[in-house]
Amino acid sequence: MPTFVIWGMKDSAILSGHLSGLEKWVPNLSVRLYPDDDHWVMLQKHTAVAQDIRRFIDGKDFPKESVFRR
């Protein structure tokens, strides 16, 4: 399963060292680093993050239906 990690490099809650070796455990890994942002990068740079996610999923063969059920 393709996996996309978005990481604010100034995150003080989850340190960037946690990325080290991640590709060993997560095959087909893509990482987008935001050097000037922290843990809340998805709120601080919401437009850029949404564009990154869209670029990542475009052209990938993900299931078309949601796995979320009520």
Residue 66 placed within a domain: no
| End-to-end Cα spacing for the chain | 24
Q: Could you list the mean pLDDT of each consecutive 10-residue stretch along the chain, which spans 70 residues?
A: 92 90 92 95 96 88 64
Residue 23 placed within a domain: no
| pLDDT the model gives residue 68 | 59
Distance of alpha carbon 2 from the chain centroid: 11
pTM above 0.85, yes or no: no
Residue 65 placed within a domain: no
Residue 17 placed within a domain: no
